[in-house]
Structure 1
Amino acid sequence: MKSVRDPIVDLFAQASTCPRLAVLLVLVLAVAAQAGQSSQQLRIAAFGSVVEIVVRSAPQAQVEAAARIIDREFQAMHRRWHAWEPGPLVEVNQAIARGERTIAVPDDIAALIAESRQLYQASEGLFNPAIGGLLELWGFQSSVMPEGPLPSKAQIRRWLEQSPSMTDLRLTGNVLVSRNPAVQLDFGAYAKGVAVDRAIDILREHGIGHALVNAGGDVRVIGDAGGRVWQIGVRHPEGNRGSILGTIQAADGEAVFTSGNYERFRSDGERRYTHILDPRTGWPVERVTSVTVVGPRGSSADAAATALVVAGVDDWPRIARRMGIDKVLLVDDAGRVWMTPRMAERVSFRRPPDAVELRTPGLSR
């Protein structure tokens, strides 16, 4: 028997407990301490991290059936949507690069393209899954920390001149047409949100009404945590892996997603370059350390968190409003916290930040 410390959920400590390539599905019966109700905890290795599922007040057989389907679908998503290992997405990218006039795409990838194109437009191009070539140029299309020389200014300039974007693509049913061979799709800033949404759908289809899905720190919940709202812990971007900035209340159906510069980066010995790239400049973003958003779905929250990091300290409120996000918490490189009034109603800090500024979505500086 293992006690569950919910409703506060540590979102990131789990990632170090599971080998990267292992596929684990461990069912642990637990007791929800705050309500005395039975809870079950599952862990699956997928998308390069540990996916944790906590289910409350549901028969074990239903939980096990849902977990098998989630595990199977997550492994398939990882293989099919991988941007540089052989699979359907790589085949689509190769066809685009060859300049093929029409490209047949599978249903799942067509759905990714269709929704991400809408999110691209809402974010004014700051969320841009067409920049796989730029990510490769910087060495971030790799499962290991990038090494070697940084891309030259000339290489980045050539990429900018090609200006690949989601508007270069036209999708009719399952037929894709690209007008720009430089488009290389990489859904790394979005696919995890889609997967979390699918896991929630599967849980609901199996009659499960109270659960949390945590994919390496990105979370969506349904129901409640034993008569109380879920409390989602957010990592302190300047702290150790186990350091918590605070907790955010998440209501039924909501997603809490974070994008930050502290997990994946490269260094030239003097400066750290984050994997979050600005498609307008071709360079890693600066000044913003992390952005956490609360939204109605994982897919849109995932994309919005990335777009707001790119938008930066000055413009994030305007982009948040365009994307329909009213709960945002941003930490800049000086440690200052910026957030919306709606987020301020949800967050409890472990230690009061040195400086906090409230900004209303739509009102940029």
Structure 2
Amino acid sequence: MPDRSVPRALTILVGVAAAVVVLFGVREVASIAGPVVLALVLVIAVSPVRARLSDWNAPTWVQVAVPFLIVVLVLLAMVGILTFSATALVSLLPSYTHQFEHLLADAQHWAVTHGLSNEMLAKGLEVFDPGRVLGLAQSLLGSLIGVLSALFLIVVLLLAMSLDAPMTARILAAGEGNRPQLVTALATFAHKTRRYLIVSTVFGLINAILDMVALSLLDVPLPLLWGVLALIANYIPNIGFVIALLPPTMLALLDGGVRTMVLVIVAYTVINVVTQSFILPKFLGDAVGLSTTMTFISLIVWTFALGPLGAILAIPLSLLTRALLIDSDPNAKWVQGLVSGKLPTAGPGVR
């Protein structure tokens, strides 16, 4: 009997084409897909609260209401802080026009004394323009406020998912006999996502508080805003530290000069190196299960599909994709190795 199996190359090409179509489709409905994923991740994050209330035999409405209210209060607090701080930033930026012009004149004088042409200086300033960097931060915060301002949709989704959470858990438990790989993969996704969010939030808060203290000591304006930005950027893999660092650095340059800017860079770097490089890995461990390359690709792909919210949710979205497409397939253990950057364990699925 002739071999009618589909060539592997064709399977890969069809898979890549399908992935591209799905990504462009998600991008078209990003205003809906983003809040849906955010609501799902938030429900997963507070699921231990519901489980603990269930262990205490609390009424069902309490098991739904308490986690729901926790998430809603956090969202309202974030919206309020970002809205107030972004408004203050918009009103503050025009007051630094004179300082920027003075810095530009000093830079031109330095360039002339060191034999650099004004044309070369102009090209450099196009890249390293404090006004553009602060404008980028303002745009990013505006985008985040726009996402969080769709609070009605997010709250409705949260309420619906919170109401369905107890039944969903029972349905998944009932399906363990029919599709054990899928149920296990989804449970692993929830566990890894929850651990990632909890640990990242704790260390993000530590970073944010230390950053705000350092900025306050250095008299950099709006330390609360930059602390919140540091907390949010902590969820963005690879480049989150740079995003959190650039706006307050540029504002420090305009407000206090080069010395203040250097001190801000040193303070942020020391805080980030100590918490993110030495302490965080001991608590987070291998909770994510994604290699460095896959993490960076995830950041690019999900930012393309969902914008700024995709950058923040890059890790949970990648974990969900891995659970549905890789971990649920017993024959894809070798792909798990490629994604996680670790050798797969021996088993029937390894080929």
**TM-score above 0.5, yes or no:** no
Structure with greater proportional strand content: 1
- Whichever of the two has the greater Rg, that structure is 2
TM-score range, shorter chain: under 0.3
TM-score scaled to structure 1, two decimals? 0.25
More helix by share: 2
Scaled by the length of structure 2, the TM-score of the pair is: 0.26
